[in-house]
Amino acid sequence: MVWFSDLRDSTSISESMPRVRYLELLNAFFDCMAGAVMEQGAKY
């Protein structure tokens, strides 16, 4: 399985906040997206 996902304006977001906060945002985004995929029965 290949999964492509985009966080809109991620470059400008990354430039406007501290790195640690940006990584927290990316982790939250991944948790949300992966959770939705896993709920549909996708396996990785």
Predicted pLDDT of residue 43: 63
Distance CA 26, CA 3 (A): 15
> Is 27 part of any domain?
yes
> Is 4 part of any domain?
no
> Is 15 part of any domain?
yes
Q: 28 is written with which tokens?
A: 């939250």
CB 37 within 8 A of CB 2: no
> Is 44 part of any domain?
no
Contacts of 44 (CB under 8 A, 6+ apart): 1
- Provide the residue range defining the domain that includes 26: 10-39
Tell me the pLDDT tens digit for each residue of 1-44: 667 778 899 999 999 999 999 999 999 998 888 877 777 776 65
Distance CA 39, CA 35 (A): 6
User: pTM here?
Assistant: 0.69
Structural domains in the chain (count):
1
> Is 25 part of any domain?
yes
